[in-house]
């Protein structure tokens, strides 16, 4: 055998072996390498000739189930692998709705939807979009909290990346293991403060998965560019360390410099793998890390913290919309917070920004804002002082832990609960708010529902039906004095999907607070009078996809204004630009588009014999 033949056979053997290994590996994961048939402005795509017929059944991004037509089945070589019936997507949606209705609890409905996402991606997002108020609570709060607590039972296949503290020094290599190289949006948690449930460690993976599913369901961000990540640095919850179902590291949380070095490496690895303007959303980090990490990275990376900035955006939007009811400016209220963590301080900061838009100086704005934490009023005179993240809100007042008495003494007109202490807004406090002003504003934002500072019904009952109320989780309609009210849900979902869409579409380098103020203002402008009349300061959840597009436009405008956009030139029609960018949930027609070239006219093609004779004659 010649050397050339030997090398040829060796290369063939290597190719066959590699192909076998690749198929074995990729058949065991939930995502193929790159399977985006529909090209988006920010996505790469692969040639159809790299896909086999079975790929269209195996991968949820391609699968249409019984919606494959007979022609598609025959062209793809999957005829007989599906039942004979052909269904439309609408018929499939009806079956999904019926299946969901048969489950008796929301956790099982959540699991059904998770299985649907693993099977047929476009159908999953089509279903969510068909009734957002109904399905949003199933894929995120409040149901996602229970799913996180049961994550050891429900975990079946990889939907994101787990990076442990012991992977330090190898984070970039781990990111390379994710099969899709076109990631543009990352949602990351370390699981220490999952909703109001505390330290769930690796069980917290349900949060970034849920958040990124809302990117697509509510803002049509292409799901293929999204990556959920959990940083497993241990857990301090002893019951989890002893739980045989727990899937994370069985050790106490790493703190200090080792933790900071780990996060530094993670941030750099993400940028090295996916570019400097990859969007990194921090989610459910504990207070001791949330604010300081945001301050550390926000001017160096494309990053934001939804607990801090997203929550602030939605609350300020409610306050701005509420001005149409109270007939007062944002700066004409006295704000009192129960809870001075990352969310509380983030809201306070954005309220100051909103007052600045009204021409109020920062010091005067801060004078209208008071915060309580577990140790009482943030007073400069209290033992231990004011936490470092909230120093500017420290008051030169005598310390107190009596929240109710303080509501009366400062005549608060708006109380904002981010304490995760259920029932903290007592009837006495609510009655006092009704005495302080004509239209008291009550924001009971803690999640899940059992952690809310008061219910909607309690707020109306104890304020003579005069309150402006919003909560973090949904409450049923309120009946008071013969009238029914549908209170607003101060859900971050109004804000962060649209902000993310705008940032991703224009390839922004950073996500400053002014983008969230622009988003809040846009949201408030889209609250209709009929919304206010029925008792809510937010639009219907059904309107979120349209709102996300409008918010994205405002965010892009802000990005170009601040010279943070990475896409040039600036699109002339930003709404059209967004509509061209977003993900579509309708099925693609995968049948080959056959066509012929036109026949050449007026050209005589010689026969071989004529060609040979002409060649001989020319010699």
| Number of Cβ within a 10 Å radius of residue 131 | 13
Burial of 435 (0-12, 13-18, 19+ CB in 10 A): exposed
Binding site annotation covers 402? no
> Which tokens in the block code for residue 380?
């400069």
Whether 211 is catalytic? yes
Annotated binding-site residue? 461: no
Question: Would you report the helix, strand and coil content of the chain in percent, each value rounded to 5?
Answer: 50, 10, 40
Under 8 Å between Cβ of 335 and 370: yes
Q: How many CB atoms lie within 10 A of CB 293?
A: 20
Q: Is 140 an active-site residue?
A: yes
Give the phi and the psi of residue 164 in degrees, each rounded to 5. -95, 160
398 known ligand binder:
no
**307 belongs to an annotated ligand binding site:** yes
**Rounded CA separation 432/336 (Å):** 13
Dist CA 268 CA 274 (whole Å): 10
The burial class, CB within 10 Å (0-12 / 13-18 / 19+), for 162 is middle
Question: From CA 379, how far away is CA 402, in angstroms rounded?
Answer: 13
Catalytic, out of 211, 395, 451, 550: 211
- The two beta strands, 478-480 and 414-417, are unpaired
Selecting among 140, 203, 301, 587, the annotated active-site residue is: 140
Distance CA 510, CA 277 (A): 8
Burial 559-586 (b: 16+ CB within 10 A, else e): bbeeebbebeeebeebeebbeebbbebe
Task: Name the region of 23 (left: φ>0; alpha: ψ -120 to 50; beta: rest).
Answer: alpha
Q: Exposure of 452 by Cβ count < 10 A (0-12 exposed, 13-18 middle, 19+ buried)?
A: buried
Burial of 592 by CB count in 10 Å (0-12 exposed, 13-18 middle, 19+ buried)?
Answer: exposed
Q: How far apart are CA 447 and CA 195, in angstroms?
A: 6
User: Would you say 417 and 445 are in contact if contact means Cβ atoms under 8 Å apart?
Assistant: yes
Helical residues (DSSP H) of 27-170, grouped into ranges: 55-58, 70-76, 89-101, 106-119, 121-130, 132-139, 143-149, 151-154
Provide the β-strand partners of residue 186.
227, 280
Q: In what order do the strands lie in the sheet with 279-282?
A: 161-164, 226-232, 185-189, 279-282, 303-305
What is the token pair recorded at 343? 């969310």
The conformational region for residue 553 under phi > 0 = left, psi -120 to 50 = alpha, else beta, is alpha
CA 355 to chain centre: 28
SS3 (DSSP) at 335? strand
Task: Check: CB of residue 423 under 8 Å from CB of residue 450.
Answer: no
190 is in an annotated binding site: no
Is 120 labeled as ligand-binding?
no
Task: Tell me how far apart the alpha carbons of residues 570 and 578 are, in angstroms, rounded to a whole number.
Answer: 12
How far is Cα 191 from Cα 183, in angstroms, rounded to an integer?
Answer: 22
Output the known binding site for (S)-malate. 193, 447, 491
Q: Which residues are catalytic?
A: 140, 211
Binding residue positions for a divalent metal cation = 283-284, 307
| Binding site per annotation, positions | 193, 283-284, 307, 447, 491
């Amino acid at each position: 055998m010649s050397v050339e033949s030997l090398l040829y056979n060796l290369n063939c053997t290597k190719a066959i072996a590699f192909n076998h290994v690749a198929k074995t590996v990729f058949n065991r994961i939930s995502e193929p390498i790159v399977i985006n048939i529909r090209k988006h402005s920010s996505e790469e795509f692969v040639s159809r000739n790299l896909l086999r017929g079975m790929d269209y059944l195996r991968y949820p991004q391609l699968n249409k189930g019984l919606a494959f037509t007979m022609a598609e089945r025959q062209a793809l070589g999957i005829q007989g692998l599906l039942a004979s019936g052909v269904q439309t997507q609408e018929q499939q949606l009806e079956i999904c709705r019926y299946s969901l209705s048969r489950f008796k609890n929301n956790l099982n409905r959540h699991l059904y939807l998770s299985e649907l996402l693993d099977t047929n991606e476009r159908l999953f997002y089509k279903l969510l979009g068909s009734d957002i108020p109904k399905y949003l609570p199933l894929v995120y709060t409040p149901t996602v909290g229970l799913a996180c607590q049961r994550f050891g039972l429900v975990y079946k296949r990889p939907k994101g990346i787990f990076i442990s503290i012991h992977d330090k020094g190898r984070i970039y290599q781990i990111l390379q293991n994710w099969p899709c190289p076109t990631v543009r949006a990352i949602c990351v948690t370390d699981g220490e403060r999952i909703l109001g449930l505390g330290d769930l460690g690796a069980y917290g993976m349900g949060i970034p998965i849920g958040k990124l599913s809302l990117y697509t369901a509510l803002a049509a961000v292409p799901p293929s560019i999204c990556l959920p990540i959990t940083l497993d640095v241990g857990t301090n919850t002893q019951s989890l360390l002893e739980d045989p179902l727990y899937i994370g590291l069985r050790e106490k949380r790493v703190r200090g410099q080792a933790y900071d070095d780990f996060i530094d490496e993670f941030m750099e690895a993400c940028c090295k793998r996916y570019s400097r303007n990859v969007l990194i959303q921090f989610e459910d980090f504990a207070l001791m890390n949330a604010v300081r990490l945001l301050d550390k990275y926000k001017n160096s990376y494309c990053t934001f913290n939804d607990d801090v900035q997203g929550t602030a955006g939605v609350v300020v939007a409610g306050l701005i919309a509420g001005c149409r009811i109270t007939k007062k400016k944002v700066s004409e209220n006295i704000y009192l917070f129960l809870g001075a963590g990352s969310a509380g301080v983030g809201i306070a900061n954005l309220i100051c920004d909103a007052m600045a838009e009204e021409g109020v100086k920062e010091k005067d704005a801060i004078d209208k804002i008071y915060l309580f934490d577990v140790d009482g009023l943030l007073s400069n005179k209290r033992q231990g002082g004011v936490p470092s993240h909230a120093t500017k809100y420290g008051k030169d007042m005598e310390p107190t832990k009596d929240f109710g008495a303080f509501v009366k003494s400062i005549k608060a007109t708006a109380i904002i609960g981010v304490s995760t202490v259920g029932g903290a807004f007592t009837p006495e406090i609510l009655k006092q708010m009704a005495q302080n002003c004509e239209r008291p504003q009550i924001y009971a934002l803690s999640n899940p529902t059992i952690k809310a500072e008061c219910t909607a019904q309690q707020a109306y009952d104890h304020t003579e039906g005069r309150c402006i109320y919003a909560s973090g989780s949904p409450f049923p309609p309120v009946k008071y004095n013969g009238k029914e009210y549908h209170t607003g849900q101060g859900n971050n979902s109004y804000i962060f999907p649209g902000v993310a869409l705008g940032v991703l579409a224009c390839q922004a380098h950073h996500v400053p607070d002014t983008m969230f103020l622009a988003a809040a203002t846009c949201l408030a402008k889209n609250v209709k009078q009929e919304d206010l009349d029925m008792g809510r300061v937010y639009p219907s959840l059904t309107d979120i996809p349209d709102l996300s597009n409008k918010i994205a436009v405002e965010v892009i405008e802000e990005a170009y204004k601040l010279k943070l956009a990475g896409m040039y030139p600036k699109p002339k029609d930003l709404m059209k630009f967004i509509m061209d960018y977003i993900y579509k949930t309708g099925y693609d027609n995968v049948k080959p588009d056959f066509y012929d070239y036109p026949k050449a006219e007026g050209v005589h093609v010689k026969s071989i014999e004529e060609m040979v004779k002409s060649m001989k004659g020319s010699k």
